[in-house]
Structure 1
């Protein structure tokens, strides 16, 4: 009896695998949509449109980018979770998903179980910058200013619980510097206020400060990734300045509903990888602040797990709470 049950189960599994392979053979046979759970104009949206245009050319099928913003990316993500697992609805998520999870301890879906991790696409470093009047262009100088003027430092971020906010709280913990947080609604207002001297520090997506750092209107104190940022090669990383381990970025990833057929995943990975290798695509993304990074679905799954743990621990130790 036990053998018979095993045979039935094995037969059912074989049929499912065969059906998935057959389904993938003609994929895609109709239009595909890429859901971006954020507003237009950000890194996720730019990446989705660049990839979508490339896939449309390769596949000869329409690839539609749909922005489903709201609830810090949860509305669009939940929509993909509910979609059929056939490869015709994909999700372009970013690390905001795991900062939300680290901050609140829950999402309206299970990030590890309800989505298929397809691949990593790219990263955007985070930069801590200062107004020139602060006389701080490094972590050591920032610590010195903090000691000379206790309780005088404040910094702007892109919002409470954003990756940028978490990065600065880690800098504060590791460097031993005190600074009061001012959460803005987006990175751009924080950049504007530090440029105008209304606030001495800001921690934002690095690409937003490139022109101001190059002209001296802002001083870069540190870059959040383990390696230097290509658009600001003279700016030292936090790791180079003794804060270790320190490797945080805004990452972008392609995902799908749970149980996406492996053959579909393999085709998407192969074709998107080819697009990300094109020099024109690399240049376009670089100008938008996104450094292409091709990582496997397995790497993405490990990153989601590791970042969820890191952000959860940091939210607790820095007492970061949702608005």
Structure 2
């Protein structure tokens, strides 16, 4: 006995049905997103501006979407460890990157990467800006920016600045200050703000450029003196600090920034859902106040606007890295 005849039409019909089922299943999964825990990967350790802002947003996302959004700190290698992890993750919306400013400088500093920052990850939304303040110990012999520069010029080795790492916005702003002030300088990297502040208070480094979020208790207690802010205009977070532009350094404009990214093949409906929810969250007065209290400004960028911003940052700082001759070890 012979079996049923299998025709080309039968095969094509079966293939079409399989495709339709698969497409329907994928669409259903997207409609139900998120249906389980979502990991938010941070390129920094606990306690800094990135971690503080991400935990505020993670809690609110969890409330709104009915699933856990957990923070996974993956510091190291100038943010490349976190970037790589998410770039190579499943593109299903359950592993997201809380990208930071070094994302835009990694290739210029380190050359070829294990991921393609332009192709392997896609923007979801920009979230937060962290103004960068120039700080010294209140016990230092110098009290103003001019005095700090003069002090550096009086020493053969120049100035020492505590830095969160090569390619970070504070380190790049410091390099611009060294260049524009005509003073020798050395960025000394620390893995966390607390270690950098300990060295600053002990007088083993001369200054630091840092987000005020973790430094504010030291400022309020009189242990740190704020000499300026590296932004285009004075920051509402600490308006008594003059800009470096006001003090004769017009090119030193830098800030920490954070925003969400996903593996590039992540379905558009998931990107759209996250973009919409983040926009709503960041529009809440209570969330803005929570972030402001931590020394952070809300910057709500759509997917498209955040993509343009990252591209502009990459172009700007890659040129600075080349011009100043910064080399990563």
TM range (shorter): 0.7 to 0.9
> Within the alignment, does 1:74 sit opposite 2:80 as a pair?
yes
Secondary structure of the equivalent of 2:161?
A: strand
Distance in 2, Cα, partners of 1:174 & 1:19: 58
Residue deviations 1:5-32 (CA, integer Å, cap 9, x gap) = xxxxxxxxxx999987665433333333
Cα distance change of structure 1 residues 36 and 179 upon mapping to structure 2, 3 Å threshold = closer
Secondary structure of the equivalent of 1:165?
A: helix
Residue 239 of structure 1 deviates from its aligned partner by 2.2
Residue deviations 1:196-217 (CA, integer Å, cap 9, x gap) = 2233222223323323334443
Contact 2:30 2:267 in 1 (8 A): yes
> Within the alignment, does 1:280 sit opposite 2:291 as a pair?
no
Match of 1:170 in 2: 176
Secondary structure of the equivalent of 1:121?
A: strand
Superposed, which structure 2 residues align to 1:22-101 within 5 Å? 24-101=30-107
Which is further off, 206-215 or 48-57? 206-215
Distance in 2, Cα, partners of 1:17 & 1:235: 56
Cα distance change of structure 1 residues 198 and 313 upon mapping to structure 2, 3 Å threshold = same
Cα distance change of structure 1 residues 43 and 235 upon mapping to structure 2, 3 Å threshold = same
Residue 305 of structure 1 deviates from its aligned partner by 2.1
TM-score by structure 1 length?
Answer: 0.83
Match of 1:298 in 2: 304
Contact 1:116 1:256 in 2 (8 A): yes
Distance in 2, Cα, partners of 1:290 & 1:181: 24
Match of 2:243 in 1: 237
Contact 1:102 1:309 in 2 (8 A): no
Q: Which runs of 5+ in 2 are unaligned?
A: 1-19
Residue 60 of structure 1 deviates from its aligned partner by 1.9
Residue deviations 1:28-81 (CA, integer Å, cap 9, x gap) = 333333222433333333333222221221122232333344433333322322
Residue 103 of structure 1 deviates from its aligned partner by 1.2
Match of 2:162 in 1: 156
Question: Could you tell me which of 198, 201, 209 is aligned with 2:204?
Answer: 198
Distance in 2, Cα, partners of 1:198 & 1:67: 28
> Within the alignment, does 1:137 sit opposite 2:160 as a pair?
no
Secondary structure of the equivalent of 1:240?
A: coil
TM-score by structure 2 length?
Answer: 0.81
Aligned length: 309
> Within the alignment, does 1:119 sit opposite 2:121 as a pair?
no
Contact 1:224 1:237 in 2 (8 A): yes
Match of 1:208 in 2: 214
Look at both structures and tell me which one has the larger radius of gyration over its CA atoms.
Answer: 2
Contact 1:187 1:205 in 2 (8 A): no
Cα distance change of structure 1 residues 94 and 17 upon mapping to structure 2, 3 Å threshold = farther
Residue deviations 1:117-142 (CA, integer Å, cap 9, x gap) = 0111101122222234332323x443
> Within the alignment, does 1:222 sit opposite 2:222 as a pair?
no
Distance in 1, Cα, partners of 2:152 & 2:82: 42
Q: Which 4+ runs in 1 deviate beyond 6 A?
A: 15-21
